[in-house]
Structure formats: structure tokens, C-alpha cells
Amino acid sequence: MKISIERGALLKAVAQAQSVVERRNTIPILANVLIEAEGDSVQFRATDLDIEVVDRAPAMVERAGATTVSAVTLNEIVRKLPDGALVSLTEDSASGRLTIEAGRSNFSLATLPKEDFPVMATSEYAANFSAPAPVLRRLFDKSKFAISTEETRYYLNGVYMHVADGDGGKVLRCVATDGHRLARIDAELPEGAAEMAGVIVPRKTVGELRKLLDDDDMQIAVSVSETKIRFATPDITLISKVIDGTFPDYTRVIPQGNTRKMEVDASEFAKAVDRVATVSSERSRAVKLSLDEDRLILSVNSPDSGAAEEELAVAYGDERLEIGFNAKYLLEIASQVDRENAVFMFNSSGDPTLMREGNDMSAVYVVMPMRV
């Protein structure tokens, strides 16, 4: 195999592939990236057995072929090469080495046979549709903060993507929860998605997928089966296993009867919570909200480190209410608001609180209170 490729295109492809590779590997081949050169392009394939990423880049292929080489080392080398350099990759199968040349730099890396590289089994996808990158980006970005990190409740370790009934008909919905907070984000149902089975997309996949979604004009082809999900652009294909489990009935958690409404400037609220939480104890991080007519007092009282209080002007016309929350959860939820105002709907100090952006019901968050 012998190819020449521009450094920028090579770095983009290798960086995307190597981020999937697990740093601690018991199987040596999984630390490698499979390089396949054919025609006028080269593709880089990496996997951790749960996720597979295939990245294509244009190249001048002098000799077609394939080999595998350490993904992290290759990425580091290419990253440190000067911008705009023409990089040539030459494989010598007799010595089992891959030579990388650029300008006056010359590297020689050990390779492993391409036959050992595990390729994910293909599967029949029941539903195929395409969605604009900004739509998918919003769905996953706004929900991923609520993904659980508890290994015991593995079915909460991802984002539940499914077709649901929204206010104006069927919607594509992403839900994530860890039992303390919940995010439910809706988007218009893309054509062809109606038949899709609900799948739980794992946390690592959500992180890797994010890198495909930066280009606003890109259409992402999505294919879903009961065991796998595939996201593809013309240059990158990401295939992931989905979490094998049943996502709980989240609709029971979303409060319907909360009537006490508080409207507040989201960024002012987040900054104020952040300020008073500075003195809260690391373990509980509790912040108390005391609501009275058109004013909110945020307070923290920590026996170890001190106390803090801040008053905010809000729109609130109901009876007095005192309720406590974990400051971290409040901050995460407030930071999801794109518009100026966040609307909180309370019931009592022991019931879950609902938050949305203005009157927009396509993004709804629920947070559980705590005793303070």
C-alpha cells in the first residue's frame, strides 16, 4: 500500500477514528486503526466492539492495500506535522512496518495484520430516514446532561430516542434521566422515521456522534434496527450497538398539575445560583429557593463553610413557597435555555418541578427537589 494525502484531511479522519479507541485495551488490535486504500480515497476504521467509526478521505493512491497501525500514535504524529504538508504512507508487508513521510520527517510504525481487525456484523435496518444536523444536535445536546452514570441501572446510561405523540401529532423524541432530573426534547418527525423502534443510544455514542453534527448544512442519514443504530454523512459512518434494556415509563414522572409559575431570566438565574452555591458543602450542594410575590431569594446555609443569599426579581404571583434543589442540577438545566426566559412550574416543596423555555413545550425538564 502506498498513498499520499494532505495533512489536514488525514488529521480530520484519523482524529475522529482514534477517539473511539479505548485507551486501556486487553486486545492489541483494538488499539489500532484499519487503513484501507482503494481508488482515489482512503478509509480509516476504528472500533471498541460496541461502536465502529469509518472515516473516508480523498487521497492519491499509488498502490491499493490495507493495514492496521496504532490509532493514538498515528494521530499524535499527524497532529504534530506542519500545516499543509503532503503526507505519504507506505506499507512494507515484509517487515510489518508502515512508513510515514512528510517533508524531512520520517516515521516507521509497527503494524498488525488487517485480517485480525474485527469488523462489525452488518444488520438489517428496519427504519431509514435523514435529518438535518442541527435537529439531531439539539435533540442530543439538550438531553445528554441527564444521562445516568450508575452502572447498575444500565438502561439509563443513554438517551432514549423514539417516536412519540406530541402536541401537534407524532414527534421524534429524545429522553434522558438519572432519577434526579429528566430531559425530554422533541423535534419534527422526519419522513420515514415513523416505523422506528425506540432505542437507547449509549453515552459514548452520543459523545462521538456530536463530532458529526457540527456542519449546519449537513443531512445525517439515520438507520435504526433493534440492536444497532447508524449515523452517516458522505465522509463518516458511525455504527453503534444500542443498550439492550427497557427504558422506564418517563411520562409518569413529568408533572401535569403544577400550577405555581415562576418566570426568570435564565442566565441571571444560573449566575446567581452559581454564586450562592460557592459556599455550599460539596456533598449536598443544596440551594434553597424562597418565593414570594415577584421576588426570589436564593440561599445556602452550610454549617461548615458559611452562608450566602441573593435576591432576584422574578415574575411570580402565587402563594409563598420554599423549596430546595441540588445546585448542580439547577445550573445544568438553566444552561439548556436558549431564549432569555426560563419558566419553572412548582407544585409543593416535595414534588418534582418542571422547567421549560418560555411557552415552548418541545423542550421540557424535570428536577426533583431535596430537603434543606
Letter for the amino acid at 112?
L
> What's 54's domain CATH number?
3.10.150.10
Residue 23 predicted with pLDDT over 90: no
**pLDDT-based confidence at residue 283 (cuts at 50, 70, 90):** confident
If asked whether residues 308 and 288 sit together in one domain, one would say yes
Please identify which residue in the block is written with the cell numbers 485495551.
25
Residue 303 predicted with pLDDT over 90: no
Residue 68 predicted with pLDDT over 80: yes
If asked whether residues 283 and 241 sit together in one domain, one would say no
Number of domains, the chain: 3
If asked whether residues 49 and 132 sit together in one domain, one would say no
Letter for the amino acid at 60?
M
Which domain, by its residues, includes 194? 127-252
Q: Which residues pair with 9 in a beta bridge?
A: none
Alpha helices in 19-132 (DSSP H): 71-80
pLDDT of residue 216: 87
pLDDT of residue 340: 79
pLDDT digits (tens, 9 = 90+) for 129-154: 999 999 999 999 999 999 999 999 99
Joined together, the cell numbers standing for residue 135 give 435537529
Residue 284 predicted with pLDDT over 90: no
If asked whether residues 26 and 90 sit together in one domain, one would say yes
- What is the average pLDDT value for the chain, to the nearest integer? 94
- Taking each continuous run of H as one helix and of E as one strand, the counts in the chain are 6, 26
pLDDT digits (tens, 9 = 90+) for 86-109: 999 999 989 999 999 999 999 999
> Considering 193, 219, 252, which residue would you say is the last residue of a domain?
252
- Does residue 121 lie within any of the structural domains? no
Residue 281 predicted with pLDDT over 90: no
CB 112 within 8 A of CB 32: yes
- Does residue 372 lie within any of the structural domains? no
If asked whether residues 323 and 241 sit together in one domain, one would say no
DSSP character string of 289-357: EEEETTEEEEEEEETTTEEEEEEEE-EE-S--EEEEEEHHHHHHHHTT--SSEEEEEE--TTS-EEEEE
Query: What are the φ and ψ backbone dihedral angles of 361, each rounded to 5 degrees?
Result: -95, 5
> Considering 228, 252, 276, which residue would you say is the last residue of a domain?
252
First to last CA, the chain: 66
pLDDT digits (tens, 9 = 90+) for 224-262: 999 999 999 999 999 999 999 999 999 999 999 999 999
Give the global pTM: 0.93
- Does residue 36 lie within any of the structural domains? yes
